[in-house]
């Protein structure tokens, strides 16, 4: 399987794995920026991808940025559908206490390819019973 990648700008960095067994590609910013504490920003990558049918690309936070800077992805995991051909962008947020500056070429996210099971939605009058029922948001007994 191949993930086809197109550079949209001459400065865009192609995604690359950090090690032979890394499950995700490192994704890099194609622009510099500054995130103030609490601020979020769409960061352009300068690339577009062609995801094989039956798969999706997920964008995930980098653990080092999250731990050291408090920077994450707002809509994690972000999804790139197989029929999307536009620029891949990453919505970063600064949960830290200090401004976060980044340069073009800095690693800002991880990008993985995952299978998708497409199904149809069907409206019904009733759903089957389950032991849990409608209990949620902390009602499972886990503290």
Cβ-contact 5, 47 below 8 angstroms: yes
How much is the pTM? Answer: 0.86
Q: Which residue did the predictor score with more confidence, 143 or 88?
A: 88
Per-residue pLDDT of 79-118, as tens digits, reads 999 999 999 999 999 999 999 999 999 999 999 999 999 9
Q: Is residue 89 part of a domain?
A: yes
Residue 130 has a pLDDT of 87
Distance CA 26, CA 88 (A): 13
Residue 133, pLDDT > 90, answer no
Q: What is the CATH number of the domain that holds 108?
A: 2.70.40.10
Where does the pLDDT of residue 138 fall: very low under 50, low under 70, confident under 90, or very high at 90 and above? low
Q: Is residue 87 part of a domain?
A: yes
Strands 71-73 and 16-17 turn out to be unpaired
Q: Is residue 14 part of a domain?
A: no
Q: Is residue 52 part of a domain?
A: yes
Per-residue pLDDT of 55-67, as tens digits, reads 999 999 999 999 9
Question: Residue 87: in which H helix or E strand, if any?
Answer: strand 87-94
Q: Is residue 36 part of a domain?
A: yes
Domain that holds residue 74: 24-115
Per-residue pLDDT of 28-50, as tens digits, reads 999 999 999 999 999 999 999 99
Collapsed DSSP state (helix, strand, coil) of residue 66: helix
Average pLDDT value over all residues in the chain: 94
Q: Is residue 128 part of a domain?
A: no
Number of domains the chain contains: 1
Which segments of 18-117 does DSSP mark as H helices, in order?
A: 63-69
């Amino acid at each position: 399987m191949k993930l086809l990648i197109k550079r949209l700008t001459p400065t865009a960095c192609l995604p690359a794995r950090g090690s032979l067994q890394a499950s995700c590609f490192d994704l890099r910013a194609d622009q510099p920026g500054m995130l103030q504490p609490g601020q979020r920003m769409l960061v352009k990558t300068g690339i577009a991808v062609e995801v094989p049918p039956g798969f999706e690309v997920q964008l995930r936070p980098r653990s080092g940025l999250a731990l050291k800077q408090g920077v994450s992805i707002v809509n994690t995991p972000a999804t790139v559908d197989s029929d999307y051909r536009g620029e891949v962008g990453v919505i970063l947020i600064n949960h830290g206490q200090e401004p976060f500056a980044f340069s073009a070429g800095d690693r800002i996210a991880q990008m993985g390819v995952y299978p998708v099971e497409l199904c149809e939605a069907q409206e019904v009058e009733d759903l089957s019973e389950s032991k849990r029922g409608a209990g949620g948001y902390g009602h499972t007994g886990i503290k």
